[in-house]
Every structure is written in C-alpha cells, then in structure tokens.
Amino acid sequence: MAYENIRLDLEDALAILTIDRPKALNALNSKTLQELESALHALPATVRALIVTGGGDKAFVAGADIAEMASISAAQAREFAALGHRVFQTLEQLAIPTIAAVNGFALGGGCELALACDLIYASEKAKLGLPEVSLGVIPGFGGTQRLTRVVGKMRAKELVFTGERLDAAKAKEIGLVLDVLPADQLLPHCKAVVGKLLKNGPLAISQAKRVIEYGADQDLRAANELERQGFAVLFGSEDQKEGMKAFLEKRPAAFTGR
C-alpha cells in the first residue's frame, strides 16, 4: 500500500516504519496518524520486530502538527486525542517487540510515540520532551501516563510542568532512553538488537511482553499470576519443545512461532 507521510520497509522478519514528513519535521497530523494505524494493522504475519524512526536528518517526530491543532474546537481536540491514543495503543499492544530509533527531535507527540515502543535508543543529537504546557495544553496521546511509568511520578511532573527539552545524555540518565549512539550508528545498533531478538522464541517474547505490560498495572500477586499462566501456556507450543531439545543437543534452536 502506498502512503503519503510514512514509509514501511520490510527486511525479512524486520519492519522499519519511518514517519516521512521532513519539511514538517515529521509532525503528526491526522492523516499521518491514520496512515500509521493502517500500516500497523497491515504488518505481515512474518514480521517479528518493528523499528520506528523519522525521515530526514533533523527529527524523529517533532510533535503533533500545531498548524492543524491551532484552530480546532474542544470537540475536535477530543477526536484528535482519541485518534492518537488509539494508534499508540495499537503500537503498544503489538505482539512483537518494537524499537524507537530516535534520530532527532522527539517532542510532544514524538516523545509519546517513542514511549509507546518497547525499547528506545537515541542518537547523540536527539532532543526529547513534552513541551505542551508552553502551548497552553497538556500531552494528549498518553504521554503523561507512559512517561510516569518509565521515569517515575515526580520526574514526570517536572518534565511536564517545565516543558524541558532533554538532550540524549540526560534522557539516558533518567532512564527515558536505553543507549545513546552516534547518528550514523543508531539504525545499525537497533538492527543489531533485533538480530539478538530474532534468535529467541517469538511466542516466548510475545508472552514476556504481555505479562510485563499488563503486570505493571497490577499488584505483585496478580502480576505473578499472569507470569505463571504465561509460563505454563508456552509448554503447549512447538517452540518450547524445539528450544529445550536444541539446548540438550547443544545446537541453535529453529523456532517457527508455533
């Protein structure tokens, strides 16, 4: 399918989704969000990992499109926020691991997009933050909630209240990104991480993602029950039998996702 504002490239079991509006610093307008949603739903079943990044050399996603938002009504803002929440929830709930390769500005909606991914890596020139209060609004695509769960409530309040833009090193210091790479090494690093992931059982990774995501919002007893169930269900899979057989035979496992 042809898209106007994004690109979806397939490299065997890896999909690379690029927000590609460089003249607008890849800002998220309604059309871009709708294309993102369509692409996420259209991912082939053969895809086992997804990297999300930005086109051009300046921005991952500079934010939601202020030119579109400036004149909308409260009712229209509610619909715009609902669209963003739906798209980012779709991304967050993919059964495969997702990686944000933050190659430049990741502000507002761009930071929220990164936060909806499982892992975040940044280039040395990246800038991250939620500066919406400087526009008289607040994050509207889940940023207040996902940021709190990543960096803690007090740090999230500081970042949201001040609208501060963090450089990549500071973002790593507070746990917002995992690692900081030279710009030309960012995508190769993310692909190398994917290479490590693809050696492991896809059903196991999917279950691990599910129990971590859902367990994080529950008390320890309920979360441990999720883990117990996820652990047990994998013993009905061909991948579990292959993985343990391969270990005993001292050879690499040939997982099939069944």
Active site residues: 112, 132
d(CA 20, CA 50): 16
CB 118 within 8 A of CB 209: yes
